[in-house]
Structures are given as structure tokens and as C-alpha cells.
Structure 1
């Protein structure tokens, strides 16, 4: 039974906890564990002194480095474009920017990532129509009546297609078309999808490859008479001519960047050749070795009527064993389009109306495309490694491929919070990274389409903790903008994305000087979450090709028991890392205790063989709704059928079949599969469904990250550790490490109770050693037990009544009641009234200066703490608020001062909060549970307290939404300001002081 303790994660005043070093460097992690900022600069005309100052500002708040991105107005051109012959990507001036950034990072001991191209990094300057640039497949078509003869020139390509508008460059329609093949097909029927798109059903038996019948661009062919109508398709390869960055036609470099082929190494070699020829001199190479970490490419925002590479047919024939030419018209489908957006043409050709886009030919196409993408990524990674860095990329997830298969292709796989909006979606990404030994998975975090300057720090931390729970362990913060002036731009300064997206972190934000607390919290979590190896209880089999960002499991039922999980694709299962030892999958890696296959239908031949191998090696396998029995693509069905039949036989006692997921937990129990963290109880009972855990192990210790996504709750938890493991609490907000002195030890592990507020996290370490005497249970009025001085326990009690402890040696400790007087109460009161002074950040009088003027507003005593937005006179204020008050710590005649602990709770934190008592700054506050032990800061009698809070810049921008400009234009989505309420900021409390009894036993 769990001890009746309440393990509150109070930030301790210095000197309370016995010194403990569970994890070296935890108090102040080194740079490789610290969050980085994506840094946008407009072009190479920037002021180098300001660039250096911006980087220094990152170091001052505790960032680990930056990812430098030559923004060039997201590639769309704009102010200064006429000078890009001098300041464009790849120019000598651009190289000088790289040198300054690298040298400054070296000076301030930071790391630096660099985008491999302008804007998102999808291309480089090169002469148009150069081999290695992106190509696409198009078709032209003509109809022939059954029995009639087609004689004449082939139809030309239809070059106008349904491009994705808006955030990607349009294709420029020039250059020749190369004939790839000619095919024909008989028409069975047609159906309307909507007002603009139709599907025409082709007869598979009628498909013909007519390529050999073509001579000098002409075809003579008589259609069979078995169908009323045949369609002749002429298939052409054309350059996409999509720029990743505009330019000016002064020379090749000034002319902008062109998207490269992302489905072969020819594309990556264009990138690396440009860097080798124009940017990587000896100085840059040396600096990259000193401070460089990653080359980097953003999510792949590239367009094509059909994604292609010049030798695609040869690759296809070699890998798939047949010529795809006659099936190519089927591939122009929404399932092969960017993000599954829409079919490229208004008419789509299918073999059947149901499950169109999922035929074996589509799967074979996507398999081949996936192999080309992996070749592209691996080539970039090899080049980066040759420079002493590695390659990071937001791999594949806009493309019609299997993302889970592609993740291991780079050393630094990355996702982004804008697309990966749920923990379950992140778990689909990180599983293949963990299995393949990619220990660090990053996320571009904090891009929210809610209007610039609107993101609060608690909201940012929420995105961090969601990512941590999803197995992501490096935050790449979106982002920091260049701090200098910009043409035709007003206060508050250079604002990429035309005010649409958050966030523009920089010293221009009132919260900037308060971000160091967040940076330390993040670094400490990332240190733990990069230590050792991530462990998961369950692997879910997932085949989704093309992969889409969607939730596959709510999983509250298995989380309620404590089970953790992630996903693996058939490609992942077929790798050499996927082996079973001692009935555990990937025992030296994630160490999955069971594999779950839920309502999956497709599997590769290699993966089907692995399933049989797993079953024979004793891995528990639970099948929900049936085994996948259809091969992926067109080959290997006989192998799949044989292996699945073997797996479905009854002689594998470790393989269980159930009808629905409601039976999963019971079957796991029957198979003796237990979670590493078991939830024995929770209060309220439903809270366990919202508790996420992540386990890390190294040779020295086990570490557990816990995150409560739901309402405040108390959890009774058992951690599956050995008898020689001692629990310790690691406080990510303060850096303190303290032995946990209230727990129980059972055969199944260490059991303790943990209370977490909504969105609160905790870190618990289990270190080898002999436990000192500890408490196994106690009365409910004991709120915390610290490891005290001289081997004693420091017990905090919240009332004068007697308390009782049961020690691990079975002895009972009775702490007598404080006094016999019935009216004795421990002090508990609200601090106030507060005097408020606001520092309002507003534009300066000079419109050419985009920095803020800071005007002081003396608001005086506040009878009640309320957000600034509640007061009409200051609802439009952004800035910094200083609240001051005094309070009396009473002299208790019945309790010596050194036998008390003084706790202050600050209420809800709306953005940031820092506290000084009697002139001394307090430790960082956990913004999800803003409570501190201030015993070492207060004195008996009168005390002064000062609380300083900051806001976003949103309210001040909202008040001026009709006048703020970015190169002469206002916010792109003005309604993000005009239709949104004033943000609440300030100290809202109540700020409450509580005195507890402190007893040494």
C-alpha cells in the first residue's frame, strides 16, 4: 500500500536539503543541453554589431545557441531585394555574416546550426534547368474511341495544375519537357467528387505501355474495341522551376535559389557543391568544427504535379521488379500530393472508386520515392559529418512517404509544434528515432498563428512539456528576430511573417530579461531526457503511407495503468536494431516489453518475417482485430501470407488475439507485461489517464520524467527499480537535488505518492546505494519530509495537532501536538495591500527608431489584485509591473522561530514572476505551482516583499494595430488583434503566507 504522504515539489530555500549530486551538471547544464533559438535575419546587409549583440543576448538569458536562418522574407523578396547581388544568399557578404555569427558564438560559448539555403533551405543558387534541380511528372492526354486509330503527334504536357497557393513559391513555366513514356487505358466509368473534381475509373486489364510504339514524338496506334473509349497518356518530366528564394537577374547567385531534387543524392550534391565552392573556406570550416552543431533544413515545402526524380523509372524497376510506365497516370492523386492537399488535376484516374490512392501501384511509387528521399537526406548527413557537424531536418512529413521509415536518415531528426499538436502524434515520430539510436530529437517549438507578440511564457513552457512527454528532448525555439532597424518598419521592429505567427523573442519583449528561469528549467529537463537511453513499455505497429499528422490513439486506458508507448513502422521492424532478447524488443534501446498490432492491414515481407522471429523469441505480441495480411506494394504476398499464417497459429503462447482495445490491459496482465511506472491509485480516480511518464536509463541511474496534462491530482506510483535503488527528487526549476525520504519498498519496486498541478512536471532519479532510514507512512497533516541535517529528517506539519511517522525499520515516531490550548492556529493569511508601479513599453517619438520608450505609471495601492486588462485606463499597457508590500511574520510564543517553515503561494502566474524578500531574490518559481519555502529569507516581525511581473507586447501592439508596419504593410491578419480581447497580465494572487511546524526527528 502506498504511503499516505503528499510529495509536494516545493522549491527549497538554500541550506534545507542535504547536498546531493545525483546528476552532474544538473544545477547548470552545459550548452549542448540548452534550448536554442531560430534566428531570422533579413539579408546579408544586416549590422554585424547588432548581430553580435543579439547573440550575446541569447547567452545572457541562458540559451545554448542559435539556428541561423537567412530569412529573405520567407523567400518572397521585398525591401532590399534590389541589392541582393551584394547581399543575397551565398554572396561574400553572406559569408561574412556566417563568420561573424560563428565567431560570436565561439566568444560566448554557444553552438550554432545553419540553414543550408535561404528561407526554409529547400534550394541554392544555380543556373535554372541544371541537373539536380527538382523535377516533376506531368501528362498530356487524348481520347480514342474503341477500335479507332490514333495517328499523330503526342499530346503535350498539361502544365497548369492545382498548385498550393500562398506560402510556397509558384512554379515558373519555362524549359523543355522530356518524354518519359506513353500509355493507354480503357475507360470503365466516371464519377463526380465535387463541383470541380472527377474520378474516371480505368480498366486495369486494359492498361498498355505504348512507349516502344512512339517514333519522333508521333504515335500510330489502334485502340482495342473492348471499351467505348480509350485515353492515351503522354508522360513528361519537367523541371519544377520553383524558387525557394527570389532574387534579381544580375548573376547566378543574385538570381535567387531554386528548389533541388529531394529524391536523389543529385539534389543534395548541388547543395553541398554550392557550399564548398562559395562559403566553406578554411576559416568557416575551422569555426564550424569549433562551434557548429547542425546543418539544417526546414519542413519540405516543395511543389510538384507528381514528385519525381530523373531516373525514377530505373529505380522503380530495380527495386520493385517491373516497369511502372502504364500505371503512371494512376499516380496523379491527392494521396501523392503535398500534404495530401488535393489532386493535381481536376480529373483523377483510378482503378476503383473505393480506396483510390492506396493501390499496390501507389504503394510501390511511394516506396521508391521514400528510398530516394532517404538517399538525399543521408547524403546531406554524410557531408555534414565531414565538416565536423551533423545534419538536422524536419524530415518528410509534408511528403507522400512513410515518415517513420525516414526519421533515421539524419543524425538530428526534427519535428515542429505547429504540425505535431498532440503527444500521440509526436510518439509516432520518435519511436523510429529511439529504435535507430537517434538519442536527440528536436522540435521547432512555439510557432502559433495567433498574432505576433501574443505568446505567454506559460504557453511556451506548456509546448515544451508536451514535447518532453512525447519523447522530444531538444527545444528549438521559434524564434528570435534581428534586433536592428528595417526599411519602412515601425515599432516594435523587424517582425517576420508579417505579424501572423508567434513568436518574436528578443530584448524588445518585456519578458526577455525574465526568460532565464525558463531556460534553466528547460536545460535541466533536457539534460535528464538526453541522459542514457529512452525506455518505453509498448510498441504499436503503424503503417500509414502517406503519413499524416493525426492522432492514432487516445490511450487513456493504458496510461491509467502507467503504460508508455510509441510507434514503429514495418520499415523500422525490418532493421537490424529490431531484435528480441529475453523476450524484450530492442533490449539495449527502448526495450519494448510487448508489441501491439491494432487494426492494421499491410505489412512488408521483411517485417512479416520479423514478427515470426519475435514470436519465436518470446516477445509478447497482442493483435487487436486481426493480423496485417496484405503485402505493401506488389511483391512478396506469398512471403507475407506464409509468415502471417504461421503467426496466426495457436502454438505461440505469447501471441494473443483480441477483438477490441478494451481488452488490451487485461491481456497484458495475462502475459505478465507490466509498466515501468505503475499507477496504483490516483485522486481523482480519472486523473491517471492524463499522467505521462518517460523513463531514461544509463549505467549509473534511472530517471523518470512525469507530466500531468490534466487537473491537479495525487498519484500513487510504483517504479520498477531494484532493491538497491534510492529515490531522489530533481527540481528542474531550482536545480536542487534531494533524497526522497517518504516512500515504500516492495518486491515490485519503490512506491511513493506524488501531487502534481495541471501541466506540472517532476523529475525523479533512482540511484544505487543503501537507503538511509526513511518514512513508510504518516498522518495526513505531514505535508513534506526533507532530508535534514546530521542524518535527521525535517518534517513539515500543517497544524498544531500531533503527527505520527512509521519508519522503514517499523518503529513509530510520535510528534506531540503543539499545545493543549484549543484556540491555537498556525498563521495563514493573505499578503497585501500592494503598491503597483507599471513600466509601460510604447513607441518612441522618433518613428525611425523601433525601440521602446519606457514610461513609468504609478498606480498606487491596490485594494484587490486584478489583471491590468480589468482596468480601462491600463488595459492597453504592455511592460513590467512592480508590486511591493510588507507583511508581519508573527512571533509565536508557543513555537520557536527555528521550528517553523514559512511558505508563500503566489497564485496563478500569467506570464513571468520574480520575487525579492528583504532585498534578496528568491529562487525561480515553478509557474504551474507558484509556491516557495521562504524560511531563509524572512525574519520575525516586519518584512518587505517585491514581486516583478512582465507581460507580452500584445496589448500595446493591439492598441496600435492600425499603425504598426512591417516594410510599409500592416499585420497580415489584422483580426488577430482587433477580434481578440486584451490579454490579462499582472500579479493576480491571492498571495498567501502560511507558517508550518518544522520538526527534526
Structure 2
């Protein structure tokens, strides 16, 4: 048996290495819309406390993920965020149970086995915490480097004689001097963690021609130098600047070892590696091959592993640096970096983590353009080093394991994220950093789609102060905004280990000490009560958005020397325009992407095999290099239209580019054929004037974001309605027969109400806030989906629904109306729609609530218990949130709401004419499932919870039960001061925050809309 198992593993490994294209061996089918692959399903960032946990509980957690429609885990060795949010709890041994230890390898193996057994896939972070490094000896060359700056004023006589400032702190890189023309002190307030503090720094304006390199004049044994500089003019002075490189020894896992712990590399936690050269990737690879990929783990990883993964770069420094930079800079720009190092001493570290530590001094030149030139040069060098790091990891993962690399690339450090995105197999953004901003996502999506990325991932759900309060509608809101931009994979933040752990009470280990959402597990009442519906929905949308090639209407040019993820002005006239309608899809690219394969013009489209953009938009606020202008001229010469909005773009100085040459090239561009200059806000008007139309247009009283995907002879239109309910029309340029794909149920059906004129298909829609719709187009779909020959081109308001039967007949669902109305078929036939005899919509009342209350076990220290459950019953006069019901204000769990109604309806509801009814349960606060007469209905669209229950109803008394889970917050908030996780008090308690109740339960109104059926023969 063991021999057979070994043969099976090795054969699977052989097949995977032969065909590594992101497909995990062992998945049981190719994936369909109804049942997508595990690799297309949402995974959970699993916060493993440390490697001492029970592998049986771990395996049970993996199996439980499959039960709710998840795709697997991102198996993250958490260690309380590397010891930075919380610390090693009493009783724990993070030396013995560190990342890469024999204990970790055993647990890692168990996790892979569980994924393989359950047909799931597992992402594997490259190190503990965010994956930024590995346990290592401090002699490793591949650890993170820093450049530490110092400065001192030179005496008035221009003679510096003595030890240079900062001597001894590290290896001297350069000693420079400059004439300071002006000096000022500045201060500002910046956030430092959870506090705001005052930051002060000195600003020096330097004369560029005075910059001088004196490194060779430093005595390397004593650090002394003798410099003779000119006498400074009145009001000015000279300064020397010294720069030293040294290892930061920053740790992505930090703890205080006890005397009893073993003395080895694991005792020191884990060090961040150099992210700006191949040396960092090589350090990671050596560690894995020595400590993890042995004892059969490599073969298991090849079978069940998915992506090698790293989080956003969360390392700090004085100046972003690698020892390779001086050589890299000189190779790129032909001169030494040394003279210009003073310009890089301010705000050139971690922009996200160090806003309160920008540097002690800020140097600028007389010319802002020249200052920017050298900063831009420096950022190119940073990008080049980072590219080398990424490629080293990517090549290692592919060559050794047949796996792909997924990284949250570049942002936080001083470089343009757009340059790094194409270098990653599955680039990942995040809802937290990108603030659910569709426009910001599209800045990320553009380079990914242009470079042919099949999967674009998103870490979703890290919302501050919402642990055990994060609702499914809020999760879906974030998902839908990502989908609207082009995201097609989600990793939820995060999954909880459900067993016992040191210093942890019930409800169990909670990552980030209750600071962020969410601890997803079966300890959430929604886990078995609606969560699967949401994850199945997400998987089906992801499945569709991975089909073929996304086609985008407009590309926006954007170049950032440093990526700055902040909310900006959206090109609103592309999305919504009062006169010209809306629906233009758009993404961004940077000039860093201009060298990508496939960026060419054919048939007046840019990147025809990819996004196939119809036009480029360049806003006046953007900056161009000379090379970019030349490329743009080549695009226009090939027939591609470029629109300059709001004025002329500016100059982006880099290398030896001269501003005079830039303006000459720009003037030539502006007078070129196919270049159009418009006022701000007039872009969509110009596009229309050019005869262009959106692939998926929209005319609506709301805001709809649209995208078009093509695969073979089938195309998909995806639309998202932003926030507020709206009505309108979706206008498809190429759709001979439309079909609706319902991601909530997995069902596919023909669209029965639409019109076709002048080669366009117009579909009327009424969308709730945050609702999405998927329309498929393709002649061959009629062979798979029963399709009536006729369809409706104009429908009155009383037509509340349509369907078709097995005979391909049209079925009209006619609701109540005060008058007789008309409908028209595609063959011109006019139909009378009489809803005057149909019973009116009515509200269901007299609810009985059984509250299954989830509470702490009698032994609070037993964190392995899901919950102690007990039931209470309540008769409700009206539907209210539990926090407004005195008996349930501090309760959490699952509500079972039941009521009855008679069918057929009595005369009090109208003239007793109805063949069926739609049930609408009102706004969903978290999740909901409907049971009619003991039978479960299909899942509800969370944002439009309406369902036809006709086939579930019986003559006589009918019972409706709505199962509604709550979050755990209302109960936990009263217990929070007694709760501990990894020895720490929950953060909301530490911070003294008000622990307010939240809205939960069924809030209604719940209505029944009767209808009669009118059959239209095919």
C-alpha cells in the first residue's frame, strides 16, 4: 500500500512538472460555471499560530473550507504578525516551532496532505508572517540592506578636517559635499502606528554644480578626511554628507528567546531579505531546499501546492537600498550615484509604514526638474533591483516545483508598481490598501491584463476594528468592486485555527488581536448558514472572468515615479455622462509597460491580442518622457487615436533627456493625425465623435461599471451597479443571442426581454445597489440551453418576471396592475397584459423566531469548542434587528424565522387570481436561506433577495422559514474584557473603544408578489 501510494505521488509529480501551467494535478474536473475548480475558488489566509498546533485540527480546518465552497488555504505561519501585533505567549517556543523547523515541516506536510485529500489547493508563503524573509545567519549576504545618511556643516573657511559624520555605523559608500544656498526647518504631523506625532526635518537647497564626491579622500581605518572647499558666499554654507550601507537585521519574526531554547538560526526569529537583488531570492531558495523541501515534502508541494506567495513589502529602512545599486546605477545612467545620494535621503523608504520617519534632512537642487530627474533615475534603479529579486524567485518556483509566483508587488517602496506587475505570474492587490477603489484597482489591472496574466488576485476583507463584525454583504461589496475592475481571484483575510493555543480563550485564536477582520471558521454562525452561497457566487464570477481575454475600451496613460495608492479624480465622463450615456471600460498603463510583447497597433486598436484598446486618454496632469512621446507618435501613425484632456501633459525628466527636445517632440505629437485635444470632461463626447462605442454600453440613472470578455465564439458581458439601486439598459455591440448566467445558483437561461437594432442588443435591467449581472453571447449556447424562438422587445411594468419551459415556450409572470398593458414580441406581435385581476403584493407578518444562541463554553479556557448553544423563542409583532429586541440585545447565533400563509389566496388579497408568487425577504444584514414547506430554495442574491417560490407552495397552509445567522459581535462584546488571544487582551479593550451593538437578524420587510402565468407558444 505504501509503495503504491509513493508511485502515485511520483507519477502525479511527473505530470505536474510536464504541465505546470497553473493547474494543480488531482483536481477532479476541468471546472464549469456551476462548479468551478478549486483553484478558481476563494482561499483563506490561514493564520497558523505556530507549528506546535494539533495537525488533526489543522486537517479538519482544511476539510471545513471545502464544505463552504472555499478553494483552500494560504498557509501563513503567523506568529502574531511576526511578533509585531502581540508577542510569543507564555508556554510557546517559537524556536522549536519556527518556520522551517522539523515541527513546521511536519505540519506543512499535514496541510498539503489535507489539501490533496480534499481536492483543494494551497498557497505557500515564502517565509513567516508576510513572507518577507526566512530564518538565517546574520552573515548571509542576501539579507536586507540599508543606506544610513549623515550630514555636518563645513566651517566658514571651507576646511573640513576630522572624522566624517556617522563613522563606524556601517560600510562607507560615499562622502559628498555641496554648497547649501538655502536652509529651512519644517515640521508636519504624521501617523506613527496608532498615534500622530510631530515630525521635523531640515531642507537644504543645493547648487547642482557644487556636488562633489570625496569618498577616496577618507582614511578607511580612521574615518578621517581633510577637505578644502571654496569659501561659501554670504548666506550660504557647505555641508558634507556621509552614507553607510549596513544590514538592517529587520525581522519578519521577532521574539525574545528564553535560555532554555536551542541555539540555532531559528532562535533569532526570521530576517527580512534583500528585495532589490537576486541575492534575496537566492537566500529564500536555499533555506527552502535545506529545511522544508525534504522528506517527501517537495513531491507533495508539487501535487497540492498552488502559488509561492509574498505579501506587500513591509520592511523599513532609512533609504531603500541594496549593495548592487552603485554598479546598477552607473550601468544604467553612465555616471556614479555618489554625488547625488543627498537627494535620496528623504521619503525614500517605506512610504506606508514610515510616514513619520521620512528622514532627518531633505535636499533639493535649484531646479525642481533636475531634482526630479535624479529621483526618477533612482526609482528606476530600485525597480530594476526589485525585478531581479522577483525573477529569481519566479524562476526558482517554476524550475524546481513547477509552480507560479504570486506577490503583492512593489507598492510601499519608492518605485512604480506598474513596472513590477508583469513580472509576477499572479499579481495580487488588496482591498485594504486600495480602499475598494475601482479606479485604483484599474491602475493595477491594466499592466496585468496587458502582460497576459490569467489570474489577478486580491487579498480581501482586512477592515480595522471589525473582528467578528464583518458581514457577508460587506465582503461581497468589496468583491464586486474588484470584479468590476478585473480581479478574478480572492484570498480572504483570514482563516482561523480552531483548536487550543497558548494563552488563548474561546472563541479561539484571532489574528491581529481583534484589530482586523475576520476570523473565518465554523465558529461563525454564518459558516454553515449562507457563507457557502457567497463563496460559490464568488467562484462562479471568478470562473467567468478567467474565460478568454478581457477587452477594454480606453487606456489611460499614467506614470508615477513612486506608486501612491490614494483616491483620485475618476474619469467620470467615461463611466457616466448625462448626454452620451456611460459604460466605457478603461484601465491604465505606464510607459514602463510600453516594451511588453503585443503592445502594437492593428486595425486602429492597441494591443489587439490583449485588451484591444480603442483609444488612449492622457490627462494634462500626467508627465511624459521623450521616449514615450516617440512611442505615442508611432501609435498615432498606425491609426490609433490619442486624446489629450484638459491641456498639455508635462515633462518627465530621466537620464539625459532635455526639456527642449521634449517640447519639440510634444509639439509634433499634438499636430499629428489621430491626436485630439479636448476640454476636461469631454472625453466621451470625443470618443463618440470618432465613431467609437463601448463594447458594453449603459444608459442608466445610476452608475454601471462594465467589462467584456471573449473566448472563442463566446463572449461575456459583466456589469456592476455601484451602491444605489438603478434602472437602465445594457447595450452590447456583438451579441446575437444573450443568455443570463446566474452566479448565485449556477443556472444559465436565455434572456427573454431585449431588443436588437442596428447591430446592437439592448437589455433592460433593474439592478439593486452593489448587484452584478453576467450576460453570455454565443450562437452555440442555444445547443446547451433550451431557448424559445421568440423574445420580448418591449415589456410593461406589470411583467414581473419571465421564464421558459421544456417546450421552449415563453412564460410571462404578470403581476398586479391597475390597467391593461401591452407587450411586443420580436416578430411584431402585440400581446395584451392584463394584471387587473391578479392579487396585489402583500407583506408577511406574525413571525415566530427561534433564536439559537451561541455562547461561550462553561470553561472559557477551552478554545476548541465551537459554541455552547441554547434556544429561546420569541413572537414578533414586527421584524427588528436583535439589538432592538430586549431579550436578544446581547445575543448572537442563528435565527429561525417562521410564518404561514394560505394558498390559493383569499379574496382579501384581490380577485383571487394567481398561479405563483415571488418572495422578497428585504435587506439582508449578513446571510439568509429560505425554506418553504420544509424544502430549501436555491440561494438568494444578497443584494436582491427575491425568488420564485411557486414550485414549493402547496394548496392550503404554507410555511416560510428564513434562516438568518448573525455575526458573533453582539455576544462577544460583553465578554471581550475576559477574552485572550495568544496571551493578549483584544485590541478594542486595550484602546478603550466603545463596544457598540450592531444590526443583525431579519429586518424585512418580507413580501409576497403573486403573479399569473401567460404562456406564449414558441
Question: TM-score with structure 1 length normalisation?
Answer: 0.91
- Tell me the residue number matched to 1:797: 814
* Contact 2:813/2:1013 (<8 A) preserved: yes
1:809-829 CA distances to partner (integer Å, 9 max, x unpaired)? 2222335x47xxx8x441432
- Of 205, 229, 233, 2:241 maps to 233
* Contact 1:888/1:940 (<8 A) preserved: yes
Q: How far apart, CA to CA, are the structure 1 residues paired with 2:840 and 2:74?
A: 51
**Mapped pair 1:223 → 2:229:** yes
- Tell me the residue number matched to 1:636: 657
Kindly state the Cα deviation for residue 80 of structure 1 after the two structures are TM-superposed. 5.9
Matched residues, number: 946
Question: TM-score with structure 2 length normalisation?
Answer: 0.90
* Contact 1:740/1:787 (<8 A) preserved: no
**Mapped pair 1:303 → 2:316:** yes
- Tell me the residue number matched to 2:50: 43
Kindly state the Cα deviation for residue 414 of structure 1 after the two structures are TM-superposed. 0.4
Kindly state the Cα deviation for residue 873 of structure 1 after the two structures are TM-superposed. 2.5
- Of 204, 209, 219, 2:208 maps to 204
* Contact 2:696/2:733 (<8 A) preserved: yes
**Mapped pair 1:569 → 2:590:** yes
* Contact 2:732/2:761 (<8 A) preserved: yes
* Contact 2:839/2:914 (<8 A) preserved: no
**Mapped pair 1:416 → 2:430:** yes
- Tell me the residue number matched to 2:182: 189
Aligned partner of residue 179 in structure 1, secondary structure:
strand
**Mapped pair 1:532 → 2:548:** yes
* Contact 2:840/2:910 (<8 A) preserved: no
* Contact 2:100/2:291 (<8 A) preserved: yes
Aligned partner of residue 454 in structure 1, secondary structure:
coil
Q: How far apart, CA to CA, are the structure 1 residues paired with 2:382 and 2:918?
A: 60
**Mapped pair 1:348 → 2:362:** yes
Instruction: Please list, as runs of the form range in 1=range in 2, the aligned pairs for 1:158-557 lying within 5 A after superposition.
Output: 177-194=170-187, 196-216=200-220, 217-227=223-233, 228-247=236-255, 248=257, 250-281=263-294, 283-339=296-352, 341-342=355-356, 344-352=358-366, 359-386=372-399, 387-421=401-435, 422-514=437-529, 515-557=531-573
Q: How far apart, CA to CA, are the structure 2 residues paired with 1:574 and 1:928?
A: 42
* Contact 2:583/2:696 (<8 A) preserved: yes
- Tell me the residue number matched to 1:940: 955
Instruction: Please list, as runs of the form range in 1=range in 2, the aligned pairs for 1:953-992 lying within 5 A after superposition.
Output: 953-974=968-989, 978-992=993-1007
Taking a change above 3 Å as real, the CA distance of residues 806 and 620 of structure 1, as seen in their structure-2 partners, is: same
- Tell me the residue number matched to 2:761: 750
Instruction: Please list, as runs of the form range in 1=range in 2, the aligned pairs for 1:845-994 lying within 5 A after superposition.
Output: 845-850=858-863, 851-890=865-904, 900-974=915-989, 978-994=993-1009
Taking a change above 3 Å as real, the CA distance of residues 531 and 153 of structure 1, as seen in their structure-2 partners, is: same
Taking a change above 3 Å as real, the CA distance of residues 935 and 841 of structure 1, as seen in their structure-2 partners, is: same
Kindly state the Cα deviation for residue 864 of structure 1 after the two structures are TM-superposed. 1.1
Q: How far apart, CA to CA, are the structure 2 residues paired with 1:834 and 1:475?
A: 37
| More moved, 737-746 vs 826-835 | 826-835
Taking a change above 3 Å as real, the CA distance of residues 233 and 110 of structure 1, as seen in their structure-2 partners, is: same
Kindly state the Cα deviation for residue 643 of structure 1 after the two structures are TM-superposed. 7.2
Kindly state the Cα deviation for residue 693 of structure 1 after the two structures are TM-superposed. 1.1
Kindly state the Cα deviation for residue 895 of structure 1 after the two structures are TM-superposed. 12
- Tell me the residue number matched to 2:25: none
Taking a change above 3 Å as real, the CA distance of residues 113 and 852 of structure 1, as seen in their structure-2 partners, is: closer
Runs of 4+ in 1 over 6 A off after TM superposition: 353-356, 892-899
* Contact 1:611/1:647 (<8 A) preserved: no
* Contact 2:90/2:503 (<8 A) preserved: no
Instruction: Please list, as runs of the form range in 1=range in 2, the aligned pairs for 1:520-919 lying within 5 A after superposition.
Output: 520-560=536-576, 561-628=582-649, 630-637=651-658, 641=662, 644-645=665-666, 647-652=668-673, 654-658=674-678, 660-679=679-698, 681-682=699-700, 685=701, 687=702, 690-721=703-734, 725-768=736-779, 772-799=789-816, 802-815=820-833, 817=834, 824-850=837-863, 851-890=865-904, 900-919=915-934
Aligned partner of residue 231 in structure 1, secondary structure:
strand
Aligned partner of residue 281 in structure 2, secondary structure:
helix
* Contact 1:338/1:398 (<8 A) preserved: yes
Q: How far apart, CA to CA, are the structure 2 residues paired with 1:477 and 1:778?
A: 41
Kindly state the Cα deviation for residue 148 of structure 1 after the two structures are TM-superposed. 3.0
Taking a change above 3 Å as real, the CA distance of residues 933 and 975 of structure 1, as seen in their structure-2 partners, is: farther
- Of 140, 145, 151, 1:135 maps to 145
* Contact 2:31/2:37 (<8 A) preserved: no
- Of 115, 131, 140, 2:125 maps to 115
Kindly state the Cα deviation for residue 746 of structure 1 after the two structures are TM-superposed. 1.7
Q: Superposition RMSD on alpha carbons, in Å? A: 2.3
Q: How far apart, CA to CA, are the structure 2 residues paired with 1:342 and 1:563?
A: 40
* Contact 1:705/1:763 (<8 A) preserved: yes
- Of 106, 109, 133, 2:116 maps to 106
1:939-969 CA distances to partner (integer Å, 9 max, x unpaired)? 1221112111100111111111221112333
* Contact 2:126/2:308 (<8 A) preserved: yes
* Contact 1:73/1:496 (<8 A) preserved: yes
Taking a change above 3 Å as real, the CA distance of residues 700 and 81 of structure 1, as seen in their structure-2 partners, is: farther
- Report which structure shows greater RCO (CA 8 Å, sep ≥6): 1
Q: How far apart, CA to CA, are the structure 2 residues paired with 1:191 and 1:625?
A: 35
Q: How far apart, CA to CA, are the structure 1 residues paired with 2:821 and 2:670?
A: 60
Q: How far apart, CA to CA, are the structure 2 residues paired with 1:254 and 1:343?
A: 29
| More moved, 765-774 vs 267-276 | 765-774
* Contact 1:123/1:258 (<8 A) preserved: yes
* Contact 2:571/2:681 (<8 A) preserved: no
- Structure 1's unaligned 5+ residue stretches are 1-22, 158-174
* Contact 1:842/1:852 (<8 A) preserved: no
Kindly state the Cα deviation for residue 176 of structure 1 after the two structures are TM-superposed. 5.8
Q: How far apart, CA to CA, are the structure 2 residues paired with 1:619 and 1:640?
A: 24
Kindly state the Cα deviation for residue 781 of structure 1 after the two structures are TM-superposed. 1.9
Aligned partner of residue 644 in structure 1, secondary structure:
helix
Kindly state the Cα deviation for residue 221 of structure 1 after the two structures are TM-superposed. 1.4
1:194-226 CA distances to partner (integer Å, 9 max, x unpaired)? 272221212212111112323333322101114
Aligned partner of residue 261 in structure 1, secondary structure:
coil
- Structure 2's unaligned 5+ residue stretches are 1-29, 188-198, 577-581
* Contact 1:574/1:606 (<8 A) preserved: no
- Tell me the residue number matched to 2:95: 85
